[in-house]
């Protein structure tokens, strides 16, 4: 099947949820410089290109997760040397959030290594969320799968965003994790949206997936009307040898299929040069994790990010809000909230559960 790499006659800045997989894959085949220009143009339609949203992530319950995600150092299925810990006390979490705000973060994300949230933990989490919210920060959590009732309780406690990743395209999902299904993830995302929260969702580059699998991830996010942030992650172990261009390519296409998205660079950014990060910001990435550590992974420190922002004339974004709609856009985006892209945690010491990435032909890998 031939993919037409020519620019579409449609206005790519107008959100749509009827993308086909073939159309998304064709975006990867466009000439690189054209794709950068198109993504940058769409980005400027909705956002100030000099602003970057800043979030800080804290592991509030580390290790011992029952899932077997091949990229995750917190899975109990792998011997990574990481010891399981208990859920942190609310006072300690709120103190960390205060420090994050003082360091310039506008959103505080709380992550627990669970397969699913247990009802017994909900009251303690509600206290954490309310305490962080009272500091004037946006709140985000990733706690595994949720029921509809649990999602409503988190919303009532003041949770703004819920992070729940699709990881990769649906056709490759069973090569990444077997203890849950793609539909399990979609069901939790639906509970989150129905409760009135925004979603933070995305995937990882370099797990042996093909270009079509990366297109499948973005297609699923666009089709499912994910309305928070889309995560893009990079896999550092020797199973796919992801390149900076692969990561950049995913960010470029994500900006086009999710034009009102907050596109975040997360784990793996420490290994990206200032020039590569500059290209990502030019092409539409507009969110990062700040602070020297993510869940179990190192991250560029405050001084490094301050130097990068100064070099590129970037500034932190104020508390995020959906971009305003133009008069001509209302019908096209009715009921759609902004989506976004983020990087997830890198994998444990090589599990080697992934195959090698095969050549994809022309265009971006």
- The pLDDT assigned to 262 comes to 86
Enumerate the domain spans of the chain. 21-341
Tell me what pLDDT residue 221 has: 86
201 part of the active site: no
Determine which one of 30, 229, 234, 264 is catalytic.
Answer: 264
Set 69, 201, 258, 280: catalytic member: 69
Among 30, 107, 109, 212, the active-site one is 109
The beta strand positions in the chain, using DSSP E, are 51-61, 107-112, 138-142, 161-163, 198-200, 203-205, 229-234, 262-265, 287-290, 315-316, 340-341
**Which residues are documented as binding site for [2Fe-2S] cluster?**
109, 140, 200, 264
What is the model's pLDDT at position 255?
92
Which residues does the annotation place in the binding site?
65, 69, 72, 109, 140, 200, 264
Per the listing, tokens 């009802």 go with: 119
Kindly give, in sequence order, each residue whose CB lies less than 8 Å from that of residue 41, ignoring residues fewer than 6 positions away: 13
**Can you tell me the distance from the alpha carbon of 262 to that of 133, in angstroms, rounded to the nearest whole number?**
20
Q: Which residue among 185, 200, 211, 229 is the active-site one?
A: 200
Q: Which residues of the chain have pLDDT under 70?
A: 1-10, 63-64, 66, 69-82, 84, 224-244, 267, 292-301, 319-365
DSSP string, 245-294: HHHHHHHHHHHHHSTT-EEEE-TTGGGS-HHHHHHHHHTT--EEEESSB-
User: Is 258 known to be catalytic?
Assistant: no
**Residues sharing a CB contact under 8 Å with residue 140, sequence separation 6 or more, in sequence order:** 55, 107, 108, 109, 110, 159, 160, 161, 162, 163, 200
Q: Which of 30, 72, 258, 353 is catalytic?
A: 72
Q: Is 200 a catalytic residue?
A: yes
Question: Which of the following is catalytic: 30, 107, 140, 234?
Answer: 140
Q: 220-278, pLDDT tens digit by residue? A: 888 765 544 444 544 333 333 445 677 788 889 999 998 988 888 876 777 788 898 89
Q: Is 280 a catalytic residue?
A: no
Q: How crowded is residue 143: how many other Cβ atoms within 10 Å of its Cβ?
A: 26
Quick check: is 72 catalytic? yes
Q: How many other CB atoms sit within 10 Å of the CB of residue 318?
A: 9
pTM above 0.85, yes or no: no
Residues making up the annotated binding site for [4Fe-4S] cluster are 65, 69, 72
- Domain 21-341 falls in which CATH fold? TIM Barrel (3.20.20)
């Amino acid at each position: 099947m031939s993919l037409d790499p020519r620019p579409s006659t449609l206005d790519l800045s107008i959100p749509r949820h009827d993308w086909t997989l073939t159309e998304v894959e064709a975006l990867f085949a466009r000439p690189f410089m054209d794709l950068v220009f198109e993504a940058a143009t769409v980005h400027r339609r909705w956002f100030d290109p000099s602003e970057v949203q800043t979030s800080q992530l804290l592991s509030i319950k580390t290790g011992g997760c029952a899932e077997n995600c091949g990229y995750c150092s917190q899975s109990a299925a792998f011997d990574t040397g990481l010891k399981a810990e208990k859920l942190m006390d609310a006072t300690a979490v709120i103190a960390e959030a205060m420090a994050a705000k003082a360091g310039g973060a506008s959103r505080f994300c709380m992550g627990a290594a669970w397969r699913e949230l247990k009802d017994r933990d909900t009251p303690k989490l509600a206290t954490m969320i309310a305490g962080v919210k009272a500091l004037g920060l946006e709140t985000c959590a990733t706690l595994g799968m949720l029921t509809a009732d649990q999602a409503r309780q988190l919303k009532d406690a003041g949770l703004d965003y819920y992070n729940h990743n699709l990881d990769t395209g649906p056709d490759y999902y069973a090569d990444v994790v077997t203890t849950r299904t793609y539909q399990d993830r979609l069901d939790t995302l639906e509970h989150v949206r129905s409760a009135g929260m925004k979603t933070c969702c995305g995937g990882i580059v370099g797990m042996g997936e093909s270009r079509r699998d990366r297109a499948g991830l973005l297609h699923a996010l666009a089709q499912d009307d994910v309305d928070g942030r889309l995560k893009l992650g990079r896999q550092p172990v020797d199973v796919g040898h992801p390149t900076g261009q692969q990561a950049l390519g995913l960010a470029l296409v994500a900006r086009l299929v999710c034009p009102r998205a907050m596109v975040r660079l997360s784990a793996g950014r420490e290994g990206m040069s200032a020039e590569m990060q500059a290209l990502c910001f030019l092409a539409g990435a507009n969110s990062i994790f700040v602070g020297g550590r993510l869940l179990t992974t190192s991250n560029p420190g405050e001084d490094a990010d301050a130097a990068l922002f100064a070099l590129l004339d970037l500034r932190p974004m104020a508390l995020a809000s959906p971009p305003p709609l133009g008069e001509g856009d209302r019908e096209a985006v009715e009921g759609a909230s902004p989506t976004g892209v983020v990087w997830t945690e890198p994998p444990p010491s090589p599990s080697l559960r992934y195959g090698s990435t095969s050549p994809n032909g022309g265009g971006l890998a």
